[in-house]
Amino acid sequence: MTEILNNTKATPVVIKKYFDNTSGLSTQPTSLNELIELLYQAFATNEVNIDYISTIMNNYKPTMGEWKPYIKFQSDRYTRNLVDAGNGKFNLIILCWAESQGSSIHNHADAHCFLKCLQGTLIETKYAWPTIDEEKPMHILQRTEVHEGEVAYINDSIEKPMHILQRTEVHEGEVAYINDSIGLHRIENPSHTETAVTLHLYIPPYDHCNIFDERTSRSNEAKVTFYSIGGRLITNE
């Protein structure tokens, strides 16, 4: 975002007009193609106007017919279906959640993540990043002798359960937003009788993230993959 010179409400609007490349763009995309077109224009320079992105994601009214090529449900896990790779600046993805499917707790590799619910209802549970207590004096767990030939083992594991910040429902048409500074989250389709579909926009795209164990706060790196690209299935391995 461009710099604001003083705090009055008028000035930011003026500055936006001169430097903001999204000021002339529509804020009401009425079709998938229009949404993608607006995204490309908004990303034409190296600056991103996150408020504009948020506006068009909220205002976009989807018609399910447009999304048909990307709607693919699997019985074993949710699917990620790439719609547009945004010239490397963003990824627009459709996620299909069959009954009771959910994700693990994950971060977003320093990217912005917008999530719009297209069908069904999702539950988003936000978690705080695991912390190490720095304020207490150190506590001795154990003191042992290590003799010739013996082996000792240690690792850095943190073993506290993760702390839930918030748990919200995301209904059809609603948009949720997260980035690493807010925290981590898990997304799940709580329904056993209805499927759910979400539209995700990641800025910039990422292909690795960390997944976290709720009980112990331990994390591991995970590769993030696609089930289909442009409507065509990907054979992974």
Partner 1 sequence: METTLPLEDDFDFEDDVEDFDDTLNYSHKNLNDIDFNELLTTIKSPNRVINFELNSNKLLVVPNEIEKFQSLITLELSNNQLVQLPHEIGSLKNLKNLHLKNNALSDLSFPKEMLQLKQLELINLIGNRFKQFPHQLFHMINLKEIYLSSNQITMLSDQFQNFTKVEVLYLGANRIGNIPDSIGCMCSLIVLNLCDNRLRTLPRSISRLTQLKSLSLHNNQFCALPPDIIRLDLQELSLRNNPLVVRFVRDLTYDVPSLKELAARTIKLHKINYDDKSIPKVLVDYLNSAKSCLNPKCKGVYFESCHKSVKFVDFCGKFYLPLLQFLCSPACTSTSTCQMATTHSDDMNSKFRKVLLG
Residue placing its CB nearer to partner 1 in the complex, 77 or 171: 77
Beta bridge partners of 208: 223
- Residue 114 Cα distances to 9, 45, 154, 175, 205, angstroms: 27, 20, 39, 7, 12
Longest dimension (CA), the chain: 75
Q: Which of 6, 7, 46, 193 binds partner 1 (CB under 8 A)?
A: 193
Tokens of 104: 């693990």
Neighbouring C-beta atoms of residue 130, cutoff 10 Å: 18
Does the protein bind partner 1 through residue 210 (CB under 8 A)? no
- Annotate each residue in 85-104 with x if it binds partner 1 (CB under 8 A) or - if it does not, as one string: --------------xx-xxx
Q: Quick one: 191 exposed, middle or buried, by C-beta within 10 A (0-12, 13-18, 19+)?
A: middle
Neighbouring C-beta atoms of residue 126, cutoff 10 Å: 18
Does the protein bind partner 1 through residue 224 (CB under 8 A)? no
Neighbouring C-beta atoms of residue 231, cutoff 10 Å: 14
Site for partner 1 in 131-190 (CB under 8 A): 153, 155, 157, 159, 186
Instruction: Point out which span in 3-11, 115-123, 177-185, 206-214 binds partner 1 (CB under 8 A).
Output: 206-214
Q: Is 185 annotated as a binding residue?
A: yes
Q: Is 112 annotated as a binding residue?
A: no
Q: Is 108 annotated as a binding residue?
A: yes
Residues within the interface to partner 1 (CB under 8 A)? 75-77, 99-100, 102-105, 153, 155, 157, 159, 186, 192-193, 211, 213-216, 218, 220, 222
